[in-house]
Structure 1
Amino acid sequence: MLTAKQHELLQFIQQRLEATGISPSFEEMKDALDLRSKSGVHRLISALEERQFIRRLPNRARALEVLRQPENTTRPAVANDVTPARPARTTPEPANDVIEVPLHGRIAAGLPIEALEDSRSLPVPAALLGAGEHYALEVSGDSMVEAGILDGDYALVKRTDSARDGEIVVALIRGEEATLKYLWREKGGMVRLDPANSAYDPQLYPAGDVLVQGKLAGLLRRYN
């Protein structure tokens, strides 16, 4: 049996899909159901998914498909009292949501500069991000141009404290300065941070001076 809120959410999702072909965002669902937080939406979505009223579309973050509806809306629904959902009009497949990720200042792609923290956020298509926690940094400098990372780009970073040799990482140096570079571990307890620009030299530091704060997951570029 669906609860009143589960039924209300199912109807809202179906109506939005029929009207636009795009599943509503969690924020829109929260507002439509007058919930206090998105965690309530997550619980309702999970319950509907477990009962096979909806499914999450693979490789499309937060995109939903309605599989079936209760037979009528004037009495409580029961598990076996269902009919296939009315097919939506010919509309595009639900599109990816946009996720707001924290934007933490500027990061050097040349010489290390201090990483600035602020309270801004950056809207990012969910398809660009995989699992895990992410943040964004604005690139400053040209030392990674041969890797296709340009001054003014936004680096999308997966938060992690570990990385393999050869990966592009955000490295915090001596707890004060951050830089975007290829990571290599050298013999003798040294870490080498390599640029992707032949005009720049690699940077060598004792391993204890370098802290990995994330790995490059993607890029956003604004064309003016």
Structure 2
Amino acid sequence: MAGLLALVVAGCSSTLTRIQTWEGAAADDGAVAVLRAPGEIQVSQVNGRDVGNFLMDDLALDYELLPGRNVVVFKYKTIWAKGAGVENGESKVAVIETPPQQVIINARAGEQYEFVLPEPGSRRQAEALSRNFRTQISNSGGAIVATSGRHEPAVSVAGTPAGNPVAGAPVSAAPQSMPGGDLPALEAMKVLWERASAEDKREFLRWAFD
């Protein structure tokens, strides 16, 4: 039975080596980039689209990315033996995982990317790492092209979740705020006006001319 299970797992692993991260038709190999994720990395979303929920969560998988800006959301998870002193009924292993992280990859067609992970030597080091986690992404030439950070879901002006930029979109600096941000106050107000709903615009005009 154990041998049969191993064969089944191996078969599943071979069929899940490449995961398409967009909706629609598949693309030719030369038209996409590939992000290689080891078993410690659990990718949950790419550009706001769910790509996780596999039967096993420690699979090494490759994710196909469309050229352009790709926002990848993931967790880093490791399992450590607790050693002696484990009480009856208590798990003998400790699962250490980070809060959701994200990394932005400006993908190029035909390029291959991979996570450059830290290698904690003990459970204590892994716990410390999980509290302030950072990882980098390298390309096939070994150059570092991105660094991860804590995932913060985007919020639109109206207070509702905003969609992530789609792959293929040009990379640009997003307007930040009103005075004190990256844009002059007038330009920031113009951007906010363009993004506001019709109802928000009506309420603003009532307030401005009251």
TM-score (structure 1 length as normaliser): 0.23
State the structure with bigger RCO (CA 8 A, min sep 6), 1 or 2: 2
